[in-house]
């Protein structure tokens, strides 16, 4: 890529988009940065556009500036368990809400690069006659005498608004990692919850999750063709073309032995068996609930009817959220006494956790900035600009299972592109080749080791 550009335009003012802007300005990769965000209120000082409260894992050392100790790192009562040997060495692994990270980045940019940075609301993205029109509410902003953008960066997340949907860059093969039963609860609203250490997962829901104090666990299962017919009977769509990675198949940790056993017991039944039909009824109820799934009380009552040890162990996961001294022998004792709390627990099922990568990360295209504020004449608007388009972070991949990467992958990409100034396509290949699915021989141990190695590699760059 050519360096010292006039203007870089970034789509998306999330943590990765703002971190990219920060790295561009910090390293003089370009003179100016224009960030376009669809959620933004033109009066962005109120920060309402940045109030998304999803909590993410990240490595503190990956930032090139200090993080205030006063920041609240995670929701009420959520901790990382240290009983997995492979996680103990990651003492810098921490949790923050998206809004906290965005606030830090915005303050850093405005304190140091305010005259070279602009944040505007994007109203729409249109594509016609091989020109991508970015419809922008400029709100009187006149930071740039001449915009002259030559690079467009997609930081919109795994939905990949620009690269995949608009420009039409295809994804590479899909890699499937199996299914997950996700369990969430409002920690501060449970009257019977005891003090406990919770394994921290992505901890997000379609709500103000961070401020409401939710906690989360998940039970995972490896991918198997044996489960597909059952999932399809439940109404799920299964992509049989995906490459299945048998991660966790031989794992015997407490986080991976409950769900596979339950699914194997179900698929061993005849389709006319009453318990097979009961299983379909259970998973259909969960699917129909969408993001809310079903509540913990309803889930346990369904599981109790199976009279299976495999079902009882899943019930135990739910009961121990409230009472950690409950054992498998008394898992159904006094359920009604916890009825109110159990109804606050949400159960959601994800039948296929998959990852796909863009097939290329450097595309030439034409863009036009269209101002919806007709009272201002700003140089650079309504002109066609030939640009290079590339993606960072989760715009580069579509995934719902990131195994320790997540937001770190976005920060890594931004560092490599805008600090080390490598070609975007080289950055894409670099991430893929350091991923945990590019192996000569698939094995659970090697895949896990590669994930840990990739995490180390991210920290060190």
Q: What is the pLDDT of residue 421?
A: 93
- Do residues 343 and 393 both lie within one domain? no
- Do residues 157 and 185 both lie within one domain? no
What's the number of domains the chain is made of? 2
Region 271-281 average pLDDT: 97
- Do residues 244 and 116 both lie within one domain? no
- Do residues 60 and 91 both lie within one domain? yes
> Is the pLDDT assigned to residue 404 strictly greater than 50?
no
Domain end (from 333, 352, 371) = 352
Region 383-407 average pLDDT: 76
- Do residues 127 and 185 both lie within one domain? no
Q: What is the pLDDT of residue 2?
A: 47
- Do residues 128 and 210 both lie within one domain? no
Own/partner long-range contacts of 50-53 (Cβ < 8 Å, ≥24 apart): 50/13, 50/98, 50/99, 50/102, 50/103, 50/106, 51/99, 51/208, 52/14, 52/97, 52/98, 52/99, 53/97, 53/98, 53/99, 53/207, 53/208, 53/209, 53/210, 53/211, 53/212
Q: What is the pLDDT of residue 201?
A: 42
- Do residues 142 and 196 both lie within one domain? no
> Is the pLDDT assigned to residue 14 strictly greater than 50?
yes
Residue 18: which CATH number? 3.50.50.60
Q: Convert the pLDDT of each residue in 129-180 to its tens digit.
A: 889 999 888 765 655 556 789 999 999 987 678 998 899 999 887 878 889 9
Angle value at C-alpha 307, between 301 and 310, nearest 5 degrees: 95
Q: Convert the pLDDT of each residue in 72-103 to its tens digit.
A: 444 333 334 333 343 333 444 555 666 777 87
φ, ψ (nearest 5 deg) of residue 255 = -85, -5
- Do residues 361 and 307 both lie within one domain? no
Q: What is the pLDDT of residue 133?
A: 92
Range of the domain at 72: 5-172+357-460
Q: How far apart, in whole angstroms, are the C-alpha atoms of residue 419 and residue 396? A: 18
What confidence tier does 374 reach under pLDDT thresholds 50, 70, 90? low
The alpha carbons of the chain give a radius of gyration, in whole angstroms, of: 24
Q: How far apart, in whole angstroms, are the C-alpha atoms of residue 364 and residue 399? A: 25
- Do residues 190 and 157 both lie within one domain? no
- Do residues 340 and 382 both lie within one domain? no
Domain end (from 352, 382, 400) = 352
Q: What is the pLDDT of residue 102?
A: 81
Q: Of 212, 188, 197, 186, give the one whose Cα is nearest residue 83.
A: 197
Q: How far apart, in whole angstroms, are the C-alpha atoms of residue 308 and residue 69? A: 48
Q: What is the pLDDT of residue 260?
A: 92
Q: Convert the pLDDT of each residue in 166-213 to its tens digit.
A: 999 998 878 788 899 988 887 767 776 655 444 444 444 444 444 455
Region 408-427 average pLDDT: 86
What confidence tier does 238 reach under pLDDT thresholds 50, 70, 90? confident
- Do residues 160 and 20 both lie within one domain? yes
Tokens of 438: 């590019």
> Is the pLDDT assigned to residue 28 strictly greater than 60?
yes
Q: What is the pLDDT of residue 392?
A: 92
Angle value at C-alpha 242, between 239 and 245, nearest 5 degrees: 125
- Do residues 183 and 307 both lie within one domain? yes
Region 285-291 average pLDDT: 92
Domain end (from 316, 336, 352) = 352
Q: How far apart, in whole angstroms, are the C-alpha atoms of residue 27 and residue 36? A: 21
Q: How far apart, in whole angstroms, are the C-alpha atoms of residue 134 and residue 365? A: 13
């Amino acid at each position: 890529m050519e360096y010292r550009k006039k203007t870089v335009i970034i789509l998306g003012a999330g943590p990765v988009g703002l971190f990219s802007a920060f790295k561009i300005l910090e390293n003089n990769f370009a003179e100016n940065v224009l960030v376009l965000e669809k959620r933004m209120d033109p009066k962005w000082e109120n920060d309402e556009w940045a109030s998304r409260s999803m909590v993410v894992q990240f490595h503190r050392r990956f930032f090139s500036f200090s993080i205030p100790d006063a920041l609240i790192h995670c929701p009420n009562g959520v901790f990382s368990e240290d009983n997995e040997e492979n996680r103990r060495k990651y003492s810098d692994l921490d949790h923050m809400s998206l809004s906290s990270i965005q606030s830090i980045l915005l303050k850093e940019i405005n304190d140091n690069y305010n005259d070279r940075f602009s944040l505007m609301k994007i109203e729409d993205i249109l594509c016609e006659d091989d020109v991508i029109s970015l419809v922008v509410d400029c709100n009187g902003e006149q930071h740039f005498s001449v915009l002259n953008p030559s690079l467009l960066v997609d930081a919109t997340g795994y939905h990949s608004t620009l690269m995949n949907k608009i420009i039409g860059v295809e994804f590479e093969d899909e890699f499937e990692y199996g299914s997950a039963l996700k369990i969430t609860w409002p920690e501060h609203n449970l009257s019977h919850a005891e003090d406990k250490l919770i394994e921290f997962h992505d901890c997000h829901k379609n709500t103000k999750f961070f401020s409401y104090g939710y906690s989360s666990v998940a039970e995972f299962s490896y991918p198997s063709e044996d489960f597909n017919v059952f999932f399809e009977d439940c109404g799920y769509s299964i992509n049989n073309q995906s490459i299945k990675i048998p991660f966790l198949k031989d794992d015997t940790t407490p986080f991976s032995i409950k769900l596979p056993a339950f699914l194997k017991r179900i698929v061993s039944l005849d389709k006319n068996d009453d318990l097979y039909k009961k299983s379909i009824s259970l998973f259909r109820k969960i699917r129909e609930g969408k993001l809310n799934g079903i509540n913990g009380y309803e889930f346990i009552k369904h599981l109790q009817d199976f009279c299976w040890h495999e079902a009882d162990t899943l019930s135990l996961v739910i009961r121990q959220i409230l009472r950690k001294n409950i054992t498998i022998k008394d898992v159904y004792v006094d359920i009604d006494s916890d009825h109110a709390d159990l109804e606050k627990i949400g159960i959601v099922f994800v039948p296929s956790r998959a990852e796909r990568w863009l097939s290329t990360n450097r595309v030439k295209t034409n863009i036009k900035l269209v101002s919806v504020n007709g009272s201002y004449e700003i140089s650079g608007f309504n002109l066609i600009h030939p640009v290079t388009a590339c993606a960072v972070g989760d715009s580069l991949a579509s995934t719902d299972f990131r195994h320790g990467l997540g937001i770190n992958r976005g920060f890594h990409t931004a560092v490599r592109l805008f600090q080390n100034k490598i070609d975007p396509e080289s950055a894409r290949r670099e991430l893929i080749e350091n991923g945990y699915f590019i192996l000569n021989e698939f094995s659970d141990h090697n895949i896990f080791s590669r994930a840990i190695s990739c995490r180390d590699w991210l920290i060190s760059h």
